[in-house]
């Protein structure tokens, strides 16, 4: 079987999609998986051994680009795909497989896709209650209604690249590090307040730990706010100074990642770094870090999850009321020590 998968547009979803690829290969060893993906996601897909070929489609998020999709689809006709699995539920995501004349085009009902999708799936949200389950279910044949066990994503890491990055950024790989990911592309309602990240960083360096702050160039201001508050050389703002490949390898080096519900949280889970996940407007039931090594902090208030970009009530208690002390205790517990032990 040779399949084309139209990949999602968010980092976290792209990581979770690996569970689909693993499920397909487990059932059909030797089958081929090609993934159409935006440019930014190529480094993540490159760390998935199940993906045979990455087809870069450099179109911005939300852009229709009808002519580009038609031209791309025409080029794909010669590949001889037997099935396309369309993970996004948008109309535009289903155009390319249709233009490529792929005979079986599988996807969920949504956005007037009748005809474009000829293997239309509906889902029971009480069973497919997580994003990763919805991805894996699309890989089953249409007569299957029972979801198999869902394998966790596992990104491989590159030691050689890690050493190059550490040398370029003058990072000490011998010193025990905690990574912080204070950003969340979706919006501020998913972000633990930056002053709390700063207080946590201050406590961690006081007990002998090193803190790396990771994120995109847009999140550099968040990293600067933390490092400026602490004013300690062991708090290093790396936001915007690394590629996504570099971030994968740096996260894998740390034993603990303190993170909002974000794409980098899912990367941390996929490289087996212990995740301390902070949830506000979203839900750990719907998009949990797919790992056994995790601690989840979610207050489960009566107004959450609201899934809004900003707090609609203005109080933001779902994040503000998560205390620095309990997160710090969780980090130290994972590292197997106490404050006195780190000071010694």
Q: Please, what is the end-to-end C-alpha distance for the chain in angstroms?
A: 58
pLDDT tens sequence across 208-234 = 999 999 999 999 999 999 999 999 999
Report the mean per-residue pLDDT for the chain. Answer: 93
Model pTM? 0.93
Tokens of 311: 């707090």
Strands (E), the chain: 2-6, 32-37, 53-56, 83-86, 104-108, 119-121, 177-181, 210-213, 235-237, 256-260, 274-279, 294-298
Residues 127-169: tens digit of each pLDDT:
899 999 999 999 998 777 678 889 999 999 999 999 999 999 9
Closest Cα to residue 334, out of 173, 204, 202? 204
Query: How many Å is the Cα radius of gyration of the chain?
Result: 21
Distance of alpha carbon 184 from the chain centroid: 10
Q: pLDDT digits over 224-268, tens only?
A: 999 999 999 999 999 999 999 999 999 999 999 999 999 999 999
**Nearest alpha-carbon partner for 211 in 177, 183, 238:** 177
For every residue of 112-137, DSSP letters joined together read: S-BTTBSEEE---TTTS-SHHHHHHH
> Would you call 48 exposed, middle or buried from its count of C-beta atoms within 10 A (0-12, 13-18, 19+)?
buried
Reduced to 3 states, what is the DSSP secondary structure of residue 233? Answer: coil
C-alpha to C-alpha distances, 36 to 9, 134, 264, 284, nearest whole angstrom: 11, 18, 21, 28
User: Which contacts (CB < 8 Å, 24+ apart) does range 59-68 have?
Assistant: 61/9, 64/92, 65/92, 66/95
Question: pLDDT tens across 271-317, in order?
Answer: 999 999 999 999 999 999 999 999 999 999 999 999 999 999 999 99
Q: Compare 124 and 135 and report the one with higher pLDDT.
A: 135
Residue with structure tokens 């159409």? 36
């Amino acid at each position: 079987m040779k399949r084309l998968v139209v990949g999602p547009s968010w980092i976290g979803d792209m990581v979770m999609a690996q569970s689909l690829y693993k499920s397909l290969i487990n059932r059909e060893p030797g089958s081929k998986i090609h993934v159409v993906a935006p440019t930014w996601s190529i480094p993540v897909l490159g760390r998935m051994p199940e993906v045979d070929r990455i087809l870069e489609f450099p179109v911005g998020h939300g852009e229709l680009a009808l002519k580009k999709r038609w031209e791309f689809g025409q080029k794909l006709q010669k590949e001889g795909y037997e099935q396309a699995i369309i993970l996004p539920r948008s109309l535009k995501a289903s155009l390319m497989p249709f233009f490529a004349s792929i005979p079986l085009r599988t996807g969920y009902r949504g956005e007037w896709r009748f005809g474009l999708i000829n293997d239309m799936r509906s889902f029971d949200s009480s069973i497919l209650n997580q994003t990763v389950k919805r991805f894996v279910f699309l890989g089953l044949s249409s007569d299957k209604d029972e979801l198999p066990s869902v394998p966790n994503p596992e990104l491989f890491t590159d030691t050689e690249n890690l050493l190059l990055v550490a040398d370029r950024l003058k990072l000490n790989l011998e010193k025990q590090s905690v990574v912080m990911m204070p950003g969340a592309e979706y919006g501020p309602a998913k972000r633990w307040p930056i002053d709390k990240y700063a207080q946590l960083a201050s406590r961690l360096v006081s007990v002998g730990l090193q803190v790396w702050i990771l994120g995109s160039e847009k999140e550099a201001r968040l990293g600067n706010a933390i490092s400026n508050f602490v004013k300690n050389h062991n708090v290093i703002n790396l936001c915007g100074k690394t590629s996504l490949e570099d971030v994968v390898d740096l996260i894998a080096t740390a034993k603990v990642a303190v993170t909002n519900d974000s794409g980098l949280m899912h990367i941390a889970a996929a490289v087996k770094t212990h995740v301390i996940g902070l949830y506000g407007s979203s839900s750990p039931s719907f998009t949990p870090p797919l790992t056994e090594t995790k601690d989840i902090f979610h207050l489960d208030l009566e107004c959450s999850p609201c899934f809004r970009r900003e707090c609609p009530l203005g109080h933001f208690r779902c994040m503000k009321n998560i205390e620095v002390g309990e997160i710090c205790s969780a980090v130290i517990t994972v590292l197997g020590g106490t404050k006195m032990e780190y000071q010694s």
